[in-house]
Amino acid sequence: MTVNKIISKISVTLILALISFTSELKSQELKSPDGKLILNLELDSKGTPKYALSYKGKSVIESSDLGLQIKNQPSMIEGFEIEETEKNQVDESWNPVWGKQKTVRNHYRELKIKLVQPEHQNRYIYLRFRLFNDGLAFRYEFPKQNTLNYFVIEEEITEFSLAGDHKIFWIPGDYDTHEYSYTTSKISEIPEKMDGATVNINAQTPIENLAIQTPSMMKTDDGLYINIHEAALTNYAAMDLNVDPDNFVFSAHLAPDAVGNKGYMQTNTTTPWRTIIVSDDATDVLASNMIINLNEPTEYEHTSWITPMKYIGVWWEYFVEGKSTWAYGTETNVKLDQDFNKLTPSGRHGANTAHIKEYVDFAAKHGMDAVLVEGWNIGWEDWIGNWKENVFDFTTPYPDFDVKEVNDYAHSKGVKIMMHHETSASATNYERRLDRAFEFMKEYGYNSVKTGYVGQIIPRGEHHKGQWMVNHFIHVAKRAADYEIMINSHEAVRPTGLHRTYPNWLAQESARGTEFEAMGGLAPEHASILAFTRLIGGPMDYTPGIFQTDLSYYGDNQQRVNTTLVKQLSYYVTMYSPLQMAADLPDNYERFPDAFQFIKDVAVDWDNSWYLEAEPGDYVTIARKAKNKYEWFVGSMTDENEREATIDFSFLPEGENFVATIYADAKDASWDQNPQNYTIETVLISSETILDKFIARGGGLAISIKKATENDFNELDIIK
Amino acid sequence: MTVNKIISKISVTLILALISFTSELKSQELKSPDGKLILNLELDSKGTPKYALSYKGKSVIESSDLGLQIKNQPSMIEGFEIEETEKNQVDESWNPVWGKQKTVRNHYRELKIKLVQPEHQNRYIYLRFRLFNDGLAFRYEFPKQNTLNYFVIEEEITEFSLAGDHKIFWIPGDYDTHEYSYTTSKISEIPEKMDGATVNINAQTPIENLAIQTPSMMKTDDGLYINIHEAALTNYAAMDLNVDPDNFVFSAHLAPDAVGNKGYMQTNTTTPWRTIIVSDDATDVLASNMIINLNEPTEYEHTSWITPMKYIGVWWEYFVEGKSTWAYGTETNVKLDQDFNKLTPSGRHGANTAHIKEYVDFAAKHGMDAVLVEGWNIGWEDWIGNWKENVFDFTTPYPDFDVKEVNDYAHSKGVKIMMHHETSASATNYERRLDRAFEFMKEYGYNSVKTGYVGQIIPRGEHHKGQWMVNHFIHVAKRAADYEIMINSHEAVRPTGLHRTYPNWLAQESARGTEFEAMGGLAPEHASILAFTRLIGGPMDYTPGIFQTDLSYYGDNQQRVNTTLVKQLSYYVTMYSPLQMAADLPDNYERFPDAFQFIKDVAVDWDNSWYLEAEPGDYVTIARKAKNKYEWFVGSMTDENEREATIDFSFLPEGENFVATIYADAKDASWDQNPQNYTIETVLISSETILDKFIARGGGLAISIKKATENDFNELDIIK
């Protein structure tokens, strides 16, 4: 038993377990521990369960249907009776392996309802609701019973009937990709904006009816913040949301499999949790631990091999310079096991031994933990677009990449090489080679891998967000754990807090990340929407740290990263991840060593976090304390508008003085003008300090804080 | 380089390579080495290639279309011009790792035609025809070219236009199963008999239009035997045949994938060979090596670990006795990794350590090489019918099966345990566990595995006969070779001679085998049809040797094996396989030790074979010489009619005398009356002996032959 588990167990407080047996009860009420949220559950005249949710007396979810359509069996939608209800309250704390805070409190009231269908041999399910102070979660549970063993889901019909035409930050519903830009509109405006929102993405399957994705972030006219997502997505398809734009009703839309089924179920199972985070303060949404609390504790016996990290990589140069490539050969039609011993070198292969060593030297010099190397292995000549199964073998380097020499060199300097497994979405090929791929990694001393799933899924007809692929991603994480390998998955289904259960699954992409800055750019507001959407499910490998934002610096490239340099710094705090890339080229960091110092200093694991200011789509200001270190870091980012951030340092210990190094946009900076103009000042602060600081259009702010020394007092200004 | 390859190389005789460059040639002719078969190839007015085949002046295939329908690209059906033709002749010999004969002659004339489509940027393909003395083979070849890299096959439209309304032995076209009973009819009668032929099989997908399967065996009114099949089925879907019953035209029908596509192709590839074996003597069809000759030589560096074998198994008792079962627990809803440590023992689990040891003792006593154990591993409680992915893990035994003790005990007696991997058709689950499953086998000393694919395929929407599963079966064989493990696959796509390339793929089921004798019975003619159909592609694990044919012997069982006991003996010679089971219960062999002696004696690998008598659906008589032994064995089987087999022993060395032990049906025996009445006589014979011998209805004949000793002369009768 790990320390983690022991702490969990001793802190559990089971206050109340109230079990009622009745078939007459038609409605139930549950209040959150602080009483602000109230859930109502009732059966309508057809025996369909309906739930409603209010916050401080305001309706959040109006009466909404619950249930599932089952294939070739009676539906689980109507004809229910409530046979039994049970209420519990839990207040416990637990320590994640890594995270935004050292200790997480899990505090909720629970209502469990047994729903029986007398007309179908008393077949029954449970509805389990958990009401936290910051939101509602519920799921369907299917116990083992004589009259129900295996069943196939045609559709989950769970509804979310919203109380008004809210402002919503949304991307189009899609079975395969999350990499859309966000649109901000009223719910009623989604239809007219859907076409423009559905831009081309490699391997996309937009949902045919009107639908959007989760996490779905909304704001009501009267100032409520509502976030709908799911937690603990295992052995089930990911949920998108059908949109009824006239009545403001969303309903579950699961990703289908190759034959159109949406879930293969065996009783003694549950759906994922459907989550609704609610508050009248946007920072509560960022601070919410509801989703991670709803996931299962890890069963890994040892976790000391799991280490948050900073890394650089042979990656951004492929996008911006146009000089180097993933591929080694000039051929455009190659076969694994046939053609790779006779490739014609292009002379532009990025992942060559000498070049990697330059990155390793840089990493060693600046304390980066690892160097990602993309394009090291055979297969890149025609890896994309052909729905081809055997593109990569994950164990054969190109001839100019000496896997042993590179790793030995890196290890001699205290640096790890991060493996790269692009699967080209051929999950079958990856699975059959997985043990061998991981054995290869162990042989050469790799301890982490970035996985990629660009393209149409194989098994053909499956989707990135379907049940089969959901299970695949978990399978890879679990099998990686067998080899003590950490995973950073790209193009995987968006996270739902599973990193609690599989803490070696450090981070994911699963959204439009920095790479799109080199392919059309991201809106300046993008990151401040992501913080309220994609990041609600778990850490993102956003790959920040681009200092050279104007890509014409590289010659013909007309692209531009739509942030100031300082905003890139702020991401290391605002865009939480235990895995942070310094994504720019080493040369660019050498040009701005004073700004790069923040990236070198910033922590990647935390004792605690404070959410100071936030408004979805506009700005986010967060402070965090480094894990097991007397250091704090603050990040603030804004959208296309300049603003003055207000940093209240009351999160610092009282009665002490600290040195704050403040990285700020220069007055003349903005994402499109002088983005590299910044100021760095070092000042003394205390827990009583309140700092108002200019942030440029598309800009940011980054502050590192440590305890002041005697010397600091003599040299630095004090800010109150 | 193996001895095998050296011999192949030195015996190659490339007599002729005639290359013609022309765009005017509209027709080509090719003759078989003996001149009896003539192929004609021409382009019609639309530029569609058409071929025709005649045998001794009789039309076998009338002018028939060739080509492929391609998805989202111009078809490869018309608009062709012949740009270049090339003729070759090959006469070589090679030695299989195991087989019906020690040396195989590969003798053919070849015509290769370059077909160009000027209207499609001179996109081109090759048609390659090989004309052997016993038939025609041809395939499509797709060379790498600028204007053709990747393409998707919608359908191959290859036609086989037959010259008349032939008698045909057929089973219904199906994407998933070969396990139908054969129907004998005229081609024109197929429509009216299709419904009755399409009986229920677990996991079947009958083709919607009128279609039958290959190998398809026909006999013309004027005595020609025609067999249509394919060779070297790799990275392509299996071919069934659409039937035009009015015009006697068959055309290719490939098994689709989950989204309806039929093949994902990358140039520098070919289709499998389409094969048409032709003769006016049915024994030539049995003797044909055309299909194995069309397969690639093995690339395995070492093959000494590949050993033909005889085995018994904990298997038939599950069908006939009703006492023992595969499953250990009484539960009907279990999950891997959750429920198997709390099963309720039924007390009827067959694969328990003590019981296996009884089989091992029997195997050791009677010289059997291995004992198959089915039901040893967790998962059997609810393994079938739920399209469930994770049924088995292939590494966890039931609690009453001590894998180490069983193997140690067997090995101490010179016996191997044969592994069993039922996959429940969840190929994805099998692939992701394959390395671990094979490592487990090596750890405990298993060297062979029977695989099973009962059920609907996962990846869902794929089929047993589609391109993906074709590749899966080969993947398993190749990966097994990495561990020096031999494969015996059940419910796999029917063979096409790939055992030449992957000689550890010893045998397959892929047809209605002995198990169906316990589930409704097989027609007495079944095996004599199989010899001309299923066995044309490769060895079958038919699991013969049932002595107790009346299953009411076991109590309530009303089933009957529809053969005499002696016919079961004959199968060891007539139904060629390097892997032969003695499938009955040890007790039954103990009751008939004199008959069992034949099974103990008979070889499983051969220096040579002689096909003495044959008529599809009626009878087969074959003699074979044991590999590296001065021993011969003869088998003869008949259908529901009694007959007199004529054994001409001229295959024996001249001028020597031999002792023949003749196992024959008694006069009063038949499949339905006194099937266990047999005679065994020992006589002296020579190469001049001709033996006429009675075979009962549904009966057989088996003879073992070895060199006579002085003593034999004194004691035995001489037969002339």
Looking at residue A8, its pLDDT comes to 42
Choose the catalytic residue: A179, A491, A515, A613. Answer: A515
CB-CB neighbors (< 8 A) of B333 in chain A: 144, 149-150, 266-268
pLDDT band at A447 (very low <50, low <70, confident <90, very high): very high
Q: What is the pLDDT of residues B164-189, one digit of tens each?
A: 999 999 999 999 999 999 999 999 99
Amino acid occupying residue A408: D
Query: What's the whole-number mean pLDDT along residues A412-417?
Result: 98
Q: Do B386 and A261 touch (CB under 8 A)?
A: no
**Inter-chain touch A264–B389, beta carbons under 8 Å:** yes
Q: What is the pLDDT of residue A7?
A: 40
Q: What local confidence, expressed as pLDDT, does residue B18 receive?
A: 62
What does the pLDDT read at residue B325? 97
The yes-or-no verdict on residue A594 having pLDDT over 50 is yes
Say how many CA atoms lie within 13 Å of B311 toward its Cβ: 30
Residue B170 backbone zone (phi > 0: left; psi -120 to 50: alpha; other: beta):
beta
Instruction: Please tell me the total number of residues recorded for chain B in this structure.
Output: 720
A266 contacts B333? CB cut-off 8 A: yes
Helix (H, G, I), strand (E, B) or coil at A244: strand
pLDDT tens track for B434-457: 999 999 999 999 999 999 999 999
Q: Mean pLDDT score of chain A, rounded to an integer?
A: 95
Supply the angle between the helices B427-444 and B467-482 in degrees, to the nearest 10: 10
- Interchain contact, B386 vs A460, CB within 8 Å: no
In this structure, which amino acid lies at residue A291?
I
Burial of A484 (0-12, 13-18, 19+ CB in 10 A): middle
pLDDT, average across residues B60-70: 98
The percent of residues in chain A predicted with pLDDT above 70, rounded, is 96
Cross-chain Cβ contact A435/B431 below 8 Å: no
Strands (E), A459-500: 486-489
Active site residue A515: yes
Single-letter amino acid code for the residue at A644: E
Is A147 part of the contact surface with chain B (CB cutoff 8 Å)? no
Question: Angle, nearest 10°, between helix axes A353-366 and A403-412?
Answer: 20
Q: B3 pLDDT exceeds 70?
A: no
Q: H or E stretch including B489?
A: strand B486-489
Least confident segment among A17-26, A232-241, A375-384, B28-37:
A17-26
Summarize pLDDT for A58-77 with one digit per residue, the tens: 999 999 999 999 999 999 99
Q: pLDDT of B394-442, one tens digit each?
A: 999 999 999 999 999 999 999 999 999 999 999 999 999 999 999 999 9
From residue B662, alpha-carbon distances to A459, A593, B696 in Å are 55, 95, 15
List all residues 6 or more positions away from B90 whose beta carbon is below 8 Å from its beta carbon. B12, B13, B14, B15, B106, B107, B108, B110
Model pLDDT for residues B187-227, shown as the tens digit of each residue: 999 999 999 999 999 899 999 999 999 999 999 999 999 99
Please report, for residues A189, A197, A243, A245, A472, the alpha-carbon distance to residue A192 in angstroms, rounded to integers and kept in the order given: 6, 10, 13, 10, 36
Q: Are strands A104-117 and A37-43 parallel, antiparallel or unpaired?
A: unpaired
**Per-residue pLDDT at A484 exceeds 90:** yes
CB atoms within 10 A of CB B668: 9
pLDDT(A232) > 80: yes
A434 CB near a chain B CB, below 8 Å? yes
Q: Do residue A264 and residue B335 have CB atoms under 8 angstroms apart? A: no
CA-CA distance, A510 to A506, in Å (whole number)? 13
Residue range A162-188: mean pLDDT, rounded: 98
Question: Using a CB-CB distance cutoff of 8 angstroms, which residues of chain B are in contact with residue A258?
Answer: 258-259, 459-462
DSSP string covering B680-717, please? EEEEEE-TT-EEEEEE-TT-EEEEEEEE--HHHHHHSE
Mean pLDDT score, A258-265: 98
Number of A to B CB contacts under 8 A, please give it.
Answer: 97
Please report the domains of chain A, with CATH numbers, ordered by start residue.
29-164+228-293 (2.70.98.10), 314-334+353-510 (3.20.20.70)
Secondary structure (3-state) at A65: strand
Q: Mean pLDDT, chain B, as a whole number?
A: 95
In 3D space, the residue among A59, A62, A65 whose CA is nearest the CA of residue A43 turns out to be A65
Which parts of B586-657 are beta strand (E)? 606-615, 619-626, 631-638, 643-648
* For range B518-547, the mean pLDDT: 97
pLDDT level of residue A361 (50, 70, 90 thresholds): very high
Q: Please check the confidence at residue B25 and state whether its pLDDT lies above 70.
A: no
Q: Cα B447 to chain center, whole Å?
A: 21
Banded model confidence at residue A323, pLDDT cuts 50, 70, 90: confident
Q: Which helix (H) or strand (E) holds B473?
A: helix B467-482
Q: pLDDT per residue over B358-374, tens digit each?
A: 999 999 999 999 999 99
Contact call for residues B636 and B701 (beta carbons, < 8 A): yes
Residues in chain A: 720
**Residue A309: its H or E element:** strand A309-314
Q: Which DSSP string do the residues of B296-357 spell out, in sequence order?
A: PPP--S--TT---EEEEEETHHHHHTSS-BS--BS-SS--TTTSTTS--B-S-BS--HHHHH
CB A635 within 8 A of CB A613: no
| Chain A residues near residue B436 by CB distance under 8 angstroms | 435
In B315-467, the DSSP E strands lie at: 370-373, 416-422, 448-452
Banded pLDDT at A21 (limits 50, 70, 90): low
Which of A266, A434, A461 is closest, CB to CB, to B335? A266
Q: Residue B495 has which token pair? A: 């063979």
According to DSSP, residue B718 is labeled E
Residue located via tokens 């029917």? B494
CA distance A378 to A336: 8
| Predicted local distance difference test score (pLDDT) of residue B169 | 98
Q: Is the peptide bond before A272 cis (omega within 30 degrees of 0)?
A: no
pTM: 0.96
Tens-digit pLDDT profile for residues B82-100: 999 999 999 999 999 999 9
SS3 B186: strand
Residue B176 DSSP SS3: coil
Whether B599 has a pLDDT exceeding 70, the answer reads: yes
Q: What is d(CA B271, CA B157) in angstroms, rounded to the nearest whole number?
A: 12
Closest by CA to A455, choosing from B154, B150, B469, B254, is B150
pLDDT computed for residue A24 by the predictor:
52
A residues 490-519 near B, CB within 8 Å? none
Find, among A576, A697, A533, the residue nearest to A182 by Cα: A533
Among partner residues A386, A431, A434, which is closest to B150 by beta-carbon distance?
Answer: A386
Contact flag A431-B432 (C-beta cutoff 8 Å): yes
- Bridge partners, residue B684, by sequence: B659, B718
**How are the residues of chain B apportioned to helix, strand and coil, as percentages rounded to the nearest 5?**
20, 35, 45
Buried b / exposed e across B545-565, counting CB within 10 Å, b at 16+? bbbbbebeebeeeebbbbbbb
Residue A398 has pLDDT above 50, yes or no: yes
**Average of per-residue pLDDT across A193-218:** 97
Contacts of B278 (CB under 8 A, 6+ apart): B37, B53, B55, B60, B134, B135, B136, B224, B225, B226, B227
The strand ranges marked E within B541-588 are 579-581
Q: Is pLDDT above 50 for B28?
A: yes
Pairing of the two strands B631-638 and B216-219: unpaired
Nearest of B136, B159, B137, B218 to residue B185 by alpha carbon: B218
Q: How far apart are CA B574 and CA B534, in angstroms?
A: 13
**Interval A131-174: pLDDT, tens:** 999 999 999 999 999 999 999 999 999 999 999 999 999 999 99
CB A587 within 8 A of CB A720: no
Nearest CA in chain B to A339: B268
In 3D, which of B581, B599, B572 has the Cα closest to residue B680? B599
Helix axes B427-444, B403-412, angle to 10 degrees: 50
B257 touches A: beta carbon within 8 Å? yes
Q: Provide the terminal-to-terminal Cα distance of chain B, rounded to the nearest Å.
A: 47
> For residues B82 and B25, is the Cβ–Cβ distance under 8 A?
yes
Both structure tokens of B34? 């003996």
Neighbours of B357 (CB within 10 A): 16
Better pLDDT: A27 or A116 = A116
Coil vs helix vs strand at B69: strand
Residues pairing with B643 in the sheet: B695
pLDDT of B12 > 90? The answer is: no
Going by C-alpha positions, the residue among B289, B222, B273, B288 that lies closest to residue B56 is: B222
Q: Is A73 within 8 Å of chain B by CB?
A: no
Residues with Cβ within 8 Å of B558's Cβ and at least 6 positions away in sequence, in order, are B551, B552
For residue B21, what pLDDT is reported? 59
Of A64, A17, A47, the closest CA to residue A162 belongs to A64
Contact of A598 with A700, CB cutoff 8 Å: no
